[in-house]
Structure 1
């Protein structure tokens, strides 16, 4: 039995702008995981996930291509990750095999509601890592794992930045800029997966950050899941109505995130808090420009209560529900805020930053 895990993530700043190549965001990996397990079989394979009931989806091969026995299936990211990774594996002269693949997730609530912790990214990364290990490729770099998972997301037509993928791969606090997806898709037309992986992707960057020792992250969940892909689609379709405002948002977001990165480098919690508040203002302004609801009334309430207890707060990720994040200096106000949240139906998610032991 081979197994591999990948953590969930939260966006700290730079949402929406990060979908444009070269525009930075800051993310953090959290200590809740998706685990993928593979067990060798002979004539057919299966995929099974506790998230989608216990009935496995079975698959076979036709000329080394993985083929499902059902047309409708909930496993698009897993399948894409297997296909991309096995294409990479074959370039090393490995013979493809069959296996049972099972998925166990900690990233959703007990009743299956999503917390917004990036389960699609985590399951993709865990699958890539699991398949690599299954075929004996144990020592691939973080960047290779990221690129394989990113190619899987592109094949599913994901419209995100793959920042959540990066957080799941690298762990900890991460500054990230996405790649030029048109360029990558163009390379795929002429090159193998391995050749594309080995290229330097324009604008792609990763920078791990060290938080100030006294900084504390608190996460509140509003109880209303949101669809990231739907919200990004909405913003994408409406930004053309005011291209100047969108360009101003991109520039302001980049400046805000760069200042926040400096706050990390200088160990300056107040600077980080200041830019958290600045990022919230920028997102609210873009929301007004596009008409897309990012900060719901519940998220506004979450942030107001946090500010009452000296925390700097904003929505996390695409917004529209899901989580808000709060940055505190030491533990001032944390317990009082958690109590206030509970009284208002906001759940404190007792998560911690997950740092990989490299």
Structure 2
């Protein structure tokens, strides 16, 4: 690590307090040439710059030049909470009591609700060689029980591995499932669908969680063998996407981990023409592979950094997580966090160059 620089990215007008809040930006740089920027709005990864096999650097995540872009386009690089992914009909039962969460996605609750943790400015500070974001989520926020103190810590190692550590403590039993929502295109952020289709992908999962038309899991843990979801051997998105039912991938894969809580390889991506690669590690049991199916099909509907038009399947997400709707599925790993037992999830985006 070459140190951490801090500046001001912009200003956010908080709709609850009516106060304008400064949004801080931190820049982390590794000896390998990887540069990462994170901002306090949404504890968000706003930029990742990685060299290719010839040394040429480019942004490998979608992102925006100012706050307006993040306010108009949710989840871009954000920390997701209190509960990532979908909860069916926004209903859940905790310790015998039923709760109704805010509905914000086709009759369901998605990524923490109408104003999830991605839509707040977090407190921030530098601790040794890490950037730490924290916020207090009040009891009843978005319908969830319990007040939660959450923390996200970003660390960049010398080799260019971006470590992300999530922690949370609660005053009452509540579901917690935190992740990062970066949109990647290792060909370069402006490479679009053509660049995405060139990526090799491998996912260390022998099962997946099938979903209904509303994208809520059916509760089944199905084998990937003989299906479009068998990504255990490297294949390109160009080969895999035509086999995927519907518009593409937006599914949770059940990782072949022996022990939950240990950092293990979940998935690997390689853009062969540039040589840029990404390994994703996590301590959680699942990973959501999403191929940007809900990005706009029309040009200039989503304008990113340097005036770039981001469009349909122009990037992918690899979101380590507990299984979606786990609070309503008895055979899924528990998502309930209790007082005195902090929630912890560690993940890493490890970049490499294949020459």
Specify if TM > 0.5.
Answer: no
Q: Which has the larger radius of gyration?
A: 1
TM-score by length of 2: 0.25
Q: Which one has the bigger helix percentage?
A: 1
The structure showing larger relative contact order (alpha-carbon pairs under 8 Å, at least 6 residues apart) is 1
